[in-house]
A and B are shown apart, each in its own frame.
Chain A
Amino acid sequence: MDRYIHSFGGSFAIAVLLTALVFAVKVVSPGFEEWGEETFGHAWLYMGVLAIAVFIGLGLAPLRLTPSSRALATLVGGTAVISSLIIAAAAIAMAALE
């Protein structure tokens, strides 16, 4: 079980940073957003499904990015805060560009 704590912690970090990155790319390239919605449907659905697929896929893989529980808490907390700030900045930019 200890293995899954660390592998899912690492996969969480990668999945949330990927979510923030994809959103930032959508802001910079409106064509990418249109393509995404035409291909996969609404953003709430495909962004969530993408993130869950990355989270579960990498979480089940033998991935360990952190040596201790303190480092794991820092990784999870840090990436959650950084992703949230990127998403907030991208949301402001997207609304300004519309």
Chain B
Amino acid sequence: MREVFLFVHPTLGVLGILAALWVYVEAYSVDEARLRRMKIASFVVPALFLLTWVSGGLWDSFFYEADRAVMEKGSWAFVGDTAMEMKEHLFVVVLLLALYLPILASAMDLRRAAETRLPTMTVSALIVLLGFAMDGAGAILAGSVHVGMTTLLGS
């Protein structure tokens, strides 16, 4: 079960990033078909990020303590702690952007696409960029645990 939570939350997060990228591409040049696809994708984004939030949070609640104890033995403890704190709090910004995206996309129609296009593209681009930052922080955290483990095992 531990590994399921560990791998499910970044997978859902990456799928959320891809869905936000999909919204960005569709919003770039809107016609009737693109608008319909963009609106569907805009609702997929918050669904995936809400699942990412819950699955990552449950992993943090039930399984992170053991990883942290291992990480603290290594020389990357400071980097790992920073990455974890960043992930925990920066994710709130990504989650709110994801919840805001369908509100923006739902208001867009062909008649006044120019009005809502810029905020929609801004929000979807921010989700992609901050989402990648979250993924990077997760990779650093995994690296910090690995350094702690090699310190403990002496290899």
Contact = CB atoms under 8 A, between A and B. Distances in A.
Contacts of A12: 96-97, 100
Main secondary structure of the interface of B (DSSP, over half): helix
A67 B144 CA distance: 46
Nearest to B120: A73
B135 interface: no
A95 B88 contact: no
A52 interface: yes
Interface in B107-154: 107, 115-119, 121-123, 126, 130, 133
Interface string B88-103: 1111110111011001
B13 to A, nearest CB: 14
Contacts of A73: 118-119, 121-122
Nearest to A24: B89
A88 to B, nearest CB: 6
Interface residues of A, number: 40
* Chain A interface mostly: helix
B78 A76 contact: no
A2 to B, nearest CB: 6
A44 B82 contact: no
Contacts of A94: 81-82, 85
Contact of A15 (B96, B103, B121): B96
A4 B81 contact: no
Tell me which of A84, A90, A96 has the highest count of chain B C-beta atoms within 10 A of its own C-beta.
A84
B93 A48 contact: no
A20 B96 CA distance: 13
A83 B118 CA distance: 21
A51 B122 contact: no
12 contacts: A5-B116, A8-B103, A23-B89, A42-B60, A44-B53, A44-B56, A44-B60, A44-B61, A48-B91, A69-B117, A87-B93, A91-B89
